[in-house]
Amino acid sequence: MRHAETDWNRERRYQGWHDTPLSEAGRAQADAAGRRLADQRLAAVWSSPLRRARETATAVAAPHGLDVRVEHAFGEMGFGQWEGLTVDEVRAKFPGPHRAWQETPHEVAPPGAETLAEVRARVLEGLAGLRAAHDEQTVCLVSHGITSRVLILEALGLGLDRIWSIQVSPTGISELEFRDDWAVVHRMNSLVHLERLTAAG
């Protein structure tokens, strides 16, 4: 699951490693996601160390009486000089790098940022640890836009050049099954739990 909404999400700012909290709407989304997964048999709830992910994970873990396990490998991609800037500001200040990031994200990185290959390496190391700790079990991992996409691409057997082919919304739930010789995506970016919030809004 991607974390719930922050004010920076709504403002279309690059968050990266900035430790932004959930917005009021985000807290409602996280609670809705927690209710959606309350009937699932979860062995554990894992989270990125960033506050927006931990707050979302806490809402998921609470109905199960679980503590949140924090793993740095699942933190968001560091966006370097772009962090805190809106998409429009980045497009104006860094037109060339921004265009390349949109067109060939696997070949470039924002100034001072991680590369997608570096993000993939640490995410897969984290995935190996998660699988070793929970073989044959179901867990919930709360992560971020880029790191969630990396995991979905891995399950689909697709390369990092396809990262923009996948939509990952705040509290979008994707169900991935990893085994030693294969992986499968059972569902992707499910937002059924937000329907009541949308109707109420």
- 117 CB-near residues (< 8 Å, 6+ apart): 106, 160
- 88 CB-near residues (< 8 Å, 6+ apart): 12
Bridge partners, residue 185, by sequence: 176
Among candidate residues 128, 99, 1, 100, the one with its CA nearest the CA of residue 54: 1
The verdict on whether 144 is a catalytic residue reads yes
**The pairing of beta strand 68-70 with beta strand 44-47:** parallel
154: alpha, beta or left, given left = phi > 0 and alpha = psi -120 to 50? alpha
CA of residue 146 relative to chain centroid, distance: 6
- Quote the tokens at residue 99: 């265009």
The verdict on whether 3 is a catalytic residue reads yes
- Quote the tokens at residue 37: 């997964």
Q: Which of 64, 106, 144, 186 is catalytic?
A: 144
Task: Return the active site residues.
Answer: 3, 144
